[in-house]
Structure 1
Amino acid sequence: MTADHHHPAPADEQPIPYYWQSVDWPKLMVDYPPPPHFARTTGQLSADAMRALQNERFMARVADAWAIPFYAERWRAAGLGPGDIRSLDDIDRIPTFTSDDLKQAIAAAPPFGNHHPIGRDDFGVLPLKIQTSGGTTGMPRMTLFDPIAWEVQAIQVARALYAQGARPGDIIQIPYTTSLANAGWCAYTAAHNWLGCVPATTGSGLVTPTERQIDLARAWGTNVWFARGEYLGRIAEVAAASGFDLKELPTKFIHSYLGPDTEGIVRKRLEEAWGVPIYDNYGSHEVGLISWECQARDHKHISEDTVYCQLVGVDDRQPIAEGGVGNLVVTSLHRSMPPFIRYNLRDLLTLYPHATCACGVSSRKLSTFLGRSDEMVKLRGTNVYPLACQNAVVADPRNTGDFLCVAEFRGEGLGRREEMTVRIERRSTDIDAGQLAVDMRHALHRDLGAKVDVEIVEAGSLAPFTRMGGEGKVRRLLDLRK
């Protein structure tokens, strides 16, 4: 027997789908250019050229969707047949769907749902990864990622980080846990695979205490952070309490998610504490980083070669023109595992026309995140969104910034009505709770256009409800109406 003799594989041995062989990497980089190529190629396309590219990818995704029960059944029920959607101009004929429909799809065909093109018996043919939504209520939504979905998601983040100032060799500290939620994974894969940066996956404050996060950043020379605005505030508080000035860190910038910071209050306070620019970004579990701020900070660029964005009315779901406010409806242009076509995220935003930015990139843009329409509370005829409380709460230095809106029904019969109490943490027991409550009621009435009750609570008491400093998205609504 010679040294190079190969034994034949057993007949029942299944081939291993090696990840490194699962993608045509040069083609992927041409189709979805990572930095720095993006700004020189796809990022330079005119509105018409981008529309043509989107149309080609949209039609490919429509073809994928007709083979999937979730879409085929819904589209036929809406009067559509194969061949009826001939271009992106027909997209409004396709019915939208929401996360509630995805939950029903999973319930109808557990555990993976009938919205995926494959089932459990098909696993092992190509590399797959299971990720979920934040799971703020009930079982989190599960989504399968194939290599294309996984890597393009990372390229989206890499584009943002590069535009904001990340370069090879930077150490990016990521205080998200690399868990079923994919935000931490997006940052890690972007840094490691597509930027030549060094990811430091420290995890949330539950995994690596905030004091230790600061110690590690000081020891390693962390110069970029990828973190939520709420947690950046927590780091600033802990640093101040220990007498450490965050400006002593070699931080260049921070990639963050600031929520409905419409008046820039959160950004201003964080930049004062950290002494560096903080860039706001927006994305979702299923379709990745939809939009990101460049250094011009003039709204957020949409990665238009990966996602097509529309706005629809909250109630009637009818199209809303650019410049208006409505629910964001997204169509992923790169995902086949699974497709996401006309997915109503129920996030309120404004969409701006295609234009060339001061940074040189041409794209449509999105506004600051304005709130979630599915968390609306109707108070005496006024629609109130819990996240709209943020500006008033964080603007008052007597508050920690953590708050929780409690919605409930009060009264019986014809007198039954919706009410909302905003629980707000005061910084210390030395602060007059009565006066703070009065002031916050006035401030919230001004911002919300409706009166709400206010309950002042002690610092740290809301964390078990809001998950401040923990895993996943911070919760702002405790809905007792259900």
Structure 2
Amino acid sequence: MTLSIPYYCKSVDWDQFMADFPPPPHFSATTGRLAADAMHALQEKRFLDRVADAWQVPFYQRLWGAAGLEPGDVTRLEHIDRIPTFNSDDLKGALASAPPFGDHYKFTRADFGKFPLKIQTSGGTTGMPRPTLFDPIAWEVQAVQAARAFYEQGARPGDVVQITYTNSLANSAWNAFTGLFNWLGCVPVTTGTGIVTPSERKLEYAREWGVDWWFARGEYLGRLAQVAEEMKFDLHQLKTRFLHSYLGPDVEGHFRQKLEEAWGCPVYDNYGSHEIGLIAFEGRERNGKHISEDTVYVQILDTDTGVPVPYGTRGNVVATSLHRSVPPLIRYDLRDLMIMTDREESESGLITRKLSTFLGRADEMVKLRGTNVYPLACQNAVTKDDRTTGDYICVAYHVGEGLGRREEMTVRIERKSAQVDAAALEADMRRELFKDLGVKVDIEIVEAGSLVEHTRLGRDKVRRLLDLRKS
């Protein structure tokens, strides 16, 4: 008997793949600047293909059937609002319906080995992480999305690039690596987080190996700058061309400015998710993030009503993957708060809709005396004050009993050193956060490095909420 192996190299018609999802430099001359009618036609075709995929999946049959939807009800892109949204909680339900991988796929565990698959995970801050399967199309399109961003921000073949995320069950580092290695001709240096490779050693590698640019979270770039200062290591000697990063709700740009001053180069902000990939990225003009519109259809919905809001209005990001059939992801509510603007031509020549600065997480809201407060909204006040390390965490808890029970929040903020007057910093933070949040919060000033247990700075995706309300 001859064993049939699903060789990755033969799993996709790669020439057709590159025509469908142009990598750099072709993207900027093709789907990156399609006219509105042509982009609509492309999105509609791919959207309807994904809807057809979804009708073969038990998860969508159940979700859409409960909403009264039947096959044939969605025949145009404009019909997308007939489809109910879902979120990560619904995916947990899909996993529970058919463990361990869920019933949101067209196949089951018995079909493994018929085509290449990879398991990555999302979540898992408590309990088991949520697995997601990737086939070659899902995997490589996410890599192309990343490569497009890198190229527009200045990456070129031959660049040596340090990746400070760990290549693990989370897929951010893998997306960067695959984009650089497969689609851009760059040389990845996969040092991982500070647990895998100490920050001091990362800086030494950058100097010795001539790292041209970095793929890193904004908070960790700030931590590297602190380490460099402690080592008396001049970051400017590295001649870093740019930093590809995720800056969070840096609404006034204070965080970006500090990083650019420390590193002596531009910092580019980006936005993505585990399942959808790199949804949007800044171009050279750094004026809003270009949506990769041939791979994802983005809507902004009102956080209360779920109705689409006009351009320029804040709301929840709801994304539909136009390339994924493993699994289909149609109207996935990411529960991220952002603003979208209409299509326009940028200085770099791209013509896309754009997303704003990240504005917070809808599912991390704390209700304080009738005001919705998002922990990430504290970043602006904390990072612009030179007396802090930039690290903070919001602690949400209940006070009172019965009808008098209410939510409260304390913001713990690290001071840079023991020489910083804690009382003065507390008073100033109380005032600045009141201006940004619109409601008073308690402030606790703590010592540098004391919050890392909760925030996981330098180890993993940074947390800004310690939620004791469920305790």
2:16 counterpart of 1:53: no
2:165 counterpart of 1:142: no
> Which residue of the other structure, out of 464, 468, 471, is the alignment partner of 1:480?
468
2:179 counterpart of 1:190: yes
1:418 maps to what in 2?
Answer: 407
Question: Which amino acid is 1:172 matched to?
Answer: V
2:237 counterpart of 1:248: yes
2:336 counterpart of 1:350: no
Question: Which amino acid is 1:311 matched to?
Answer: I
- Select between 130-139 and 306-315 the one with higher mean Cα deviation: 130-139
2:299 maps to what in 1?
Answer: 310
2:274 counterpart of 1:267: no
2:348 counterpart of 1:359: yes
Deviations 1:231-268 (CA, angstroms, capped at 9, x unpaired): 00011111111111111113111100000000101100
Question: Which amino acid is 2:76 matched to?
Answer: S
Question: Which amino acid is 2:403 matched to?
Answer: L
In 2, Cα distance between equivalents of 1:459 and 1:58: 49
Deviations 1:364-396 (CA, angstroms, capped at 9, x unpaired): 111010000110001001000000000111111
> Which residue of the other structure, out of 100, 103, 125, is the alignment partner of 1:114?
103
Question: Which amino acid is 2:405 matched to?
Answer: R
2:112 maps to what in 1?
Answer: 123
Q: Residue 254 of structure 1 aligns to a residue in which SS?
A: strand
Mapping 1:425-444, distance limit 5 Å: 425-444=414-433
1:316, distance to aligned residue in structure 2 (A): 1.4
Question: Which amino acid is 2:151 matched to?
Answer: Y
Normalising by structure 1, we get a TM-score of 0.96
In 2, Cα distance between equivalents of 1:90 and 1:140: 33
> Which residue of the other structure, out of 45, 64, 87, is the alignment partner of 2:53?
64
Any conservation in 2 of the 1:331–1:340 contact (CA below 8 Å)? yes
Q: Residue 16 of structure 1 aligns to a residue in which SS?
A: coil
In 1, Cα distance between equivalents of 2:92 and 2:302: 22
Question: Which amino acid is 1:199 matched to?
Answer: P
Question: Which amino acid is 2:279 matched to?
Answer: I
> Unpaired segments of 5 or more residues in structure 2?
none
In 2, Cα distance between equivalents of 1:116 and 1:202: 34
In 1, Cα distance between equivalents of 2:369 and 2:147: 45
Question: Which amino acid is 1:462 matched to?
Answer: L
1:436, distance to aligned residue in structure 2 (A): 1.5
1:4 maps to what in 2?
Answer: none
2:139 counterpart of 1:175: no
In 2, Cα distance between equivalents of 1:298 and 1:432: 37
1:7 maps to what in 2?
Answer: none
Mapping 1:7-406, distance limit 5 Å: 10=1, 13-406=2-395
Any conservation in 2 of the 1:408–1:419 contact (CA below 8 Å)? yes
Q: CA RMSD in A?
A: 0.9
In 2, Cα distance between equivalents of 1:282 and 1:455: 31
1:6 maps to what in 2?
Answer: none
Change (3 A) 1:200 1:134: farther
Question: Which amino acid is 1:400 matched to?
Answer: T
1:354, distance to aligned residue in structure 2 (A): 1.0
Q: Residue 178 of structure 1 aligns to a residue in which SS?
A: coil
Deviations 1:157-197 (CA, angstroms, capped at 9, x unpaired): 00000000000000010011000000000110000000000
Q: Residue 114 of structure 1 aligns to a residue in which SS?
A: coil
> Which residue of the other structure, out of 435, 438, 441, is the alignment partner of 1:449?
438
Q: Residue 371 of structure 1 aligns to a residue in which SS?
A: coil
Deviations 1:194-219 (CA, angstroms, capped at 9, x unpaired): 00000000110110000000000111
1:134, distance to aligned residue in structure 2 (A): 4.2
1:140, distance to aligned residue in structure 2 (A): 2.1
1:147, distance to aligned residue in structure 2 (A): 0.3
In 1, Cα distance between equivalents of 2:454 and 2:378: 16
1:435, distance to aligned residue in structure 2 (A): 2.0
Deviations 1:39-70 (CA, angstroms, capped at 9, x unpaired): 11111200111000000000000000000011
1:142, distance to aligned residue in structure 2 (A): 1.1
Q: Residue 258 of structure 1 aligns to a residue in which SS?
A: coil
The structure with the largest alpha-carbon Rg is 1
Deviations 1:290-341 (CA, angstroms, capped at 9, x unpaired): 0000001110100000000001111211111211110000000000000100
Any conservation in 2 of the 1:329–1:342 contact (CA below 8 Å)? yes
Q: Residue 107 of structure 1 aligns to a residue in which SS?
A: helix
In 2, Cα distance between equivalents of 1:222 and 1:134: 31
1:138, distance to aligned residue in structure 2 (A): 3.3
In 2, Cα distance between equivalents of 1:79 and 1:28: 36
Question: Which amino acid is 2:60 matched to?
Answer: Y
Any conservation in 2 of the 1:136–1:475 contact (CA below 8 Å)? no
Q: Percent identity?
A: 66
In 2, Cα distance between equivalents of 1:276 and 1:382: 38
Q: Residue 191 of structure 1 aligns to a residue in which SS?
A: helix
Normalising by structure 2, we get a TM-score of 0.99
- Select between 241-250 and 273-282 the one with higher mean Cα deviation: 241-250
In 2, Cα distance between equivalents of 1:290 and 1:180: 20
Q: Residue 160 of structure 1 aligns to a residue in which SS?
A: helix
In 1, Cα distance between equivalents of 2:433 and 2:30: 46
> Unpaired segments of 5 or more residues in structure 1?
1-9
In 2, Cα distance between equivalents of 1:106 and 1:69: 12
1:14, distance to aligned residue in structure 2 (A): 3.6
In 2, Cα distance between equivalents of 1:54 and 1:167: 29
> Which residue of the other structure, out of 453, 459, 462, is the alignment partner of 2:448?
459
In 2, Cα distance between equivalents of 1:44 and 1:440: 44
Question: Which amino acid is 1:143 matched to?
Answer: T
Deviations 1:72-110 (CA, angstroms, capped at 9, x unpaired): 111111111001101101000000001111111112211
